[in-house]
Amino acid sequence: MATTDTFDYAVVGAGLAGAATAWRLAQRGHHVAIVERDEPANDAGSSHGSARIFRYVYEDPFYTRMVQDSFAGWRELEAAHGGPLVTPTGCLDHGEVRGPRRLATVLDRAGLSHELLSPDEAAGRWPQFTFTTEVLWHPGAGVIDAQESVHAMVAAAVGHSATLLTGWPVASVAKSGAGYTLTSSDGRSIAARGVVVAAGGWLPGLLGGLDLPDGFLASLPRFEVRQETAFHFPYREEPAADAGWPTFIHKAHWIQVYGLAGGRDAGHRGQKVAEYNGGRVLPDASAQDGLIDPAHRARMVGYVRRHLPGLVPEPYAETTCLFTNTPNDDFVIDRADGITVLSPCSGHGAKFAPLLGELAAGLASGAGTVPDRFRTSLKVAAR
């Protein structure tokens, strides 16, 4: 690719966040390059595989509203894709730390359908689980096919004339004239008027190579990259089936676990079960090794034996994935000059993807605004 290739916007990273932003920018008529070091939704990032929880339940009603706001975007994307990307399953929330009764009030106020059940009532309906506290059932939840969603958004962007550059690792973004020059680690370059950086767990390592003001860099939260592990446990019942298994979040004092039908990744044979922030902290995504800690595996086997009688407590598959956490789990969608930084993870960003794309595209192009809590530079400026 010659240096003369010039775009309105270059979006760095084709995970859920970058693909969504590229889709929304291209849809608005901008000439967009999607610049990805590997392939869209690659296995080393955070958006691979067929299973992420879509749920409305949040302690903070702000995020519940965001899920409601993202719903229309999912329907729009499914229509463009020509098939479902979010499969309805419902979700169970339980455990003394999760606080089902407290969460029910958030759903109540948002007008979202739900039921609060005693442990015995819930066990009668879902004998594949063991419950020790009240249980919140909310039927509006489901499972997102993350990988297919990325591909659908990239296809939609390309359908609006975006260019996809794969195998293109951005090493630096430097001011040049009225825009920026992006240079790859092997010396190729492109130019763009504006840049959106959605590099997932690689963001901490890339920040130093971006032409960002020191004050902006100092305002960003500390990003913690974790190599998380998920285990697939087989269904006991034959023929095994995902149907009838709601997603769940169980937060007890001794462990915080979530689970969902593994879908395609797991041959539809079992549940994907994982511990929140149970993985190793890395300096950056490039330090990941994909290794699974045997002690962690044993802990999850113990959990399944105790709380998921509907599963055989022997994992038949396991995988790693990256969480990029901020200290309060808020997303970062912020901009300095022509560079927009987008880091919507903390283990819960998938469900908002179409909306995050709209927000980031609006901020990057000056056509829209972003909630102040995602703009850390504003908070620092206001001090």
Ligand X SMILES: Cc1cc2nc3c(=O)[nH]c(=O)nc-3n(C[C@H](O)[C@H](O)[C@H](O)COP(=O)(O)OP(=O)(O)OC[C@H]3O[C@@H](n4cnc5c(N)ncnc54)[C@H](O)[C@@H]3O)c2cc1C
Task: Tell me 210's DSSP state.
Answer: B
Which residues in the 323-362 window bind ligand X by CB under 6 A?
A: 323, 344-345, 347-351
| Burial of 211 (C-beta count, 10 Å sphere; 0-12/13-18/19+) | middle
263-302 mask for ligand X (x: CB under 6 A)? -----------x----------------------------
- For ligand X, the closer of residues 23 and 202 by Cβ is 202
Three-state SS at 296: helix
78-117 mask for ligand X (x: CB under 6 A)? ----------------------------------------
Which residues in the 137-156 window bind ligand X by CB under 6 A?
A: 146
17 binds ligand X (CB under 6 A): yes
As a whole number of angstroms, the distance between CA 268 and CA 262 comes to: 6
Q: Are the beta carbons of 261 and 242 closer than 8 angstroms?
A: yes
Three-state SS at 216: helix
* Residue whose Cβ sits closest to ligand X: 15
Of 261, 321, 359, 360, which one interacts with ligand X (CB under 6 A)? 321
228 binds ligand X (CB under 6 A): yes
- For ligand X, the closer of residues 116 and 230 by Cβ is 230
Per-residue H/E/C for 91-115: EEEECCCCCHHHHHHHHHHHCCCCE
**Smallest separation (angstroms) from ligand X to the CB of 51:** 7
Give bridge partners of residue 248 from the DSSP assignment: 92, 259
Preceding amide of 239 cis, omega within 30: yes
What residues make contact with ligand X under the rule CB under 6 A? 12-18, 35-38, 42, 45-47, 52-53, 146, 169-170, 198-202, 206, 228, 230, 274, 321-323, 344-345, 347-351
